[in-house]
Amino acid sequence: MLDLTGKNALVTGIANNRSIAWGIAQQLHQAGANLGITFLPDEKGRNEKKVADLVEPLQPSLFLPLDVQNDDQVAATFATIASQWGRLDLLIHCLAFASKEGLEGDFSQISRPVFTQALEVSAHSLIALAGAAKPLMTAGGSIVTLTYLGGVRVVPNYNVMGIAKAALEINVRYLASELGPQNIRVNAISAGPIRTLASSAIGGIYDMIHHVEQVAPLRRTVTQTEVGNAAAFLCSDLASGITGQVLYVDAGYEVMGM
């Protein structure tokens, strides 16, 4: 039986109740994990209040600001985990960003700053967080990140995020190799298109979702809860032999040829 009782889990990337990270946090909580939640700080504090109100029913024991482009905040987050928890067992990485310029128009016209920011936030952040988590995962652990089919195949308008997800997936493999001797597993979930705040920035996202509903073997898209269930599985001892993998949770769309 899937049981995460006694496990300390840090969940990043919750923006609202449509976030995939929110679905994952709910399933980890249901499985008994002790949650730490991060939020992206902003000048007026709106993100903090919105996320705090949303996650209140999950009773997180840590609620921390985290901007992965700020090295001091990354260090402070894990220093707090060390002092408050002493140990980290699970790390959920649900962080990605590309500006509008990187998600429309000709791929060949993506500027260096747009490219660099997308790779930094969406791919390098996994390396940074895993590196900070490593010394705290003294009893082993599980790291789970989110990718998408656009990292291995061309998806219209996904553009620079496709490059970022490709980088993220190879990061998973290299981290799995490095952290495996410490019994830390690193995996990714490739979820099908879901209506989220992040996906709404991609041109034609609703056409993509409708296409999946017509073509995928299950003839539907997936839900945040289904992705959350897969994440909880990868975090549990039921997945103790799985690392360095990309698990597709997309109603079977990835297997189709045309």
Residues belonging to the active site = 148, 158
How far is CA 9 from each of CA 31, 134, 184, 192, rounded to the nearest angstrom?
11, 13, 13, 24
Give the amino acid at 71: D
CB 25 within 8 A of CB 37: yes
To 5 degrees, how large is the angle CA 119–CA 231–CA 148? Answer: 35
Length of the chain, please? 258
Residue whose pair of structure tokens reads 């553009």 in the numeric block: 159
Q: How far apart, in whole angstroms, are the C-alpha atoms of residue 141 and residue 87?
A: 10
What is the helix (H) or strand (E) element at residue 171, kind and residue range?
A: helix 159-179
Hey, what amino acid is at 24?
A: I
Q: What is the dihedral of CA 42, 48, 54, 56, to 10 degrees?
A: 170
Q: Can you tell me the distance from the alpha carbon of 110 to that of 108, in angstroms, rounded to the nearest whole number?
A: 6
> 247, 187 in Cβ contact below 8 A?
yes
How far apart CA 64 and CA 39 sit, in angstroms, is 6
